[in-house]
Amino acid sequence: MKEKRLWLVFAFVTASFWGVWGAFIEIPEKSGFPTTLGYVVWSLTMIPCALFALHRINWKPETDKRSVFNGTLAGLLGCGGQLLLFQALRHGPAYIVFPIVSLSPVITIFLSLVFLKERANFIQWVGIFLSLIAMFLLANPQVGPVKSESDGIGWLILTFLVFAMWGIQMFMLKFSNNTMKAESIFFYTTLASFLFIPIAIYMTDFSVPVNWGFRGPGLTAMIQILNAIGALCLMYALRYGKAIVVVPLTGLAPVITVILSLIFYAVMPGGFLLAGLVVASISISLLSI
């Protein structure tokens, strides 16, 4: 396969794995295993993927200051944003938080255009524009109780912080890929994820019983490994492809999440979800050209 098409393969693998991950990640939480501890398990599932990545480069990641800084910063932005998202959802309505966060690729696209001088053809731009619309629609919760009240505006500030951090993180991943190996970036991202484990444990409410059985950490590990593999494939997708195309494409992982959720949970999709699925399908087709 030509190298220039590898980005598409890795982008689809990332979207697929993240889509399946998104469909089942709530099962452990509903079984009594908090999302904060789920973060801890996710960090641990990154280890086998990091070992695989290091093996591919003969256990020799770049160790110069620039590489260590760029790789670690990308990891800190992603992992820190995830913990801030947990906090935002504790105090704010999900139907506002998720749509805002889902549009973080806007920042990635802007930074890539300005600093990396990336360009796209007309068809790709249409696909990018439609993908942003689809992400917004697919991120709008249609099922479950809606929180009518929120605690102050702190949650909104946190939401925009996550929006900015994740957008910048994706840019940093592509920026770093221009000067260092994708495997090294993933390795430093994994190390960065460990730094937030104490914070995740501190955020956990242990006054509520925690399910330590298989449906807790065991099932969480099986689901979170999909997230880790998807993250590794994202590194390769950004190595071979443009960030302004790869990021919107992988951001459509909720398409798979929604489809699987409709099948396994027998939920009828609302207008937003149906519109999102249609727009996303068109966008994927255009971005794949």
Burial class (CB in 10 A: 0-12, 13-18, 19+), 60: exposed
**Taking residues 266-282, what's their average pLDDT?**
83
- Compute CA distances 103 → 99, 115, 200, 214, whole Å: 7, 20, 25, 35
- Supply 129's token pair: 């524009």
CA gap 236, 17 in Å, rounded: 14
According to the model, what pLDDT value does residue 27 have?
A: 92
- Compute CA distances 182 → 48, 135, 207, 281, 288, whole Å: 16, 26, 41, 29, 22
Between 200 and 2, where is the model more confident? 200
Residue 12: pLDDT above 60?
A: yes
- Inter-residue contact 171 to 107 (CB < 8 Å): yes
| Tokens 């937003």 -> residue | 272
Residues in the chain: 289
103-119 pLDDT per residue, tens:
999 999 999 999 999 99
**Taking residues 182-199, what's their average pLDDT?**
97
Between 4 and 127, where is the model more confident? 127
139-161 pLDDT per residue, tens:
865 444 444 455 667 889 999 99
Please state which of the ranges 72-81, 157-166, 216-225, 280-289 shows the lowest mean pLDDT: 280-289
Between 69 and 289, where is the model more confident? 69
Enclosing domain of residue 67 = 3-143+151-287
Residue 99: pLDDT above 90?
A: no
The string of DSSP letters for 238-259 reads HHHS-HHHHHHHHTTTHHHHHH
- Supply 224's token pair: 């979170």
CA gap 141, 143 in Å, rounded: 6
| Tokens 């006054």 -> residue | 207
CA gap 9, 14 in Å, rounded: 9
Residue 245: pLDDT above 80?
A: yes
- Compute CA distances 35 → 39, 48, 184, 223, whole Å: 6, 21, 28, 12
Rg, C-alpha atoms of the chain = 18
Burial class (CB in 10 A: 0-12, 13-18, 19+), 222: middle
Identity of the residue numbered 80: G
Per the structure, the count of domains in the chain is 1
CA gap 77, 113 in Å, rounded: 20
pTM above 0.85, yes or no: yes
Residue 91: pLDDT above 90?
A: no
Q: Is the dihedral of CA 153, 155, 157, 159 positive or negative?
A: negative
| Per-residue confidence band for 269, with pLDDT thresholds at 50, 70 and 90 | low
pLDDT, the chain, mean = 91
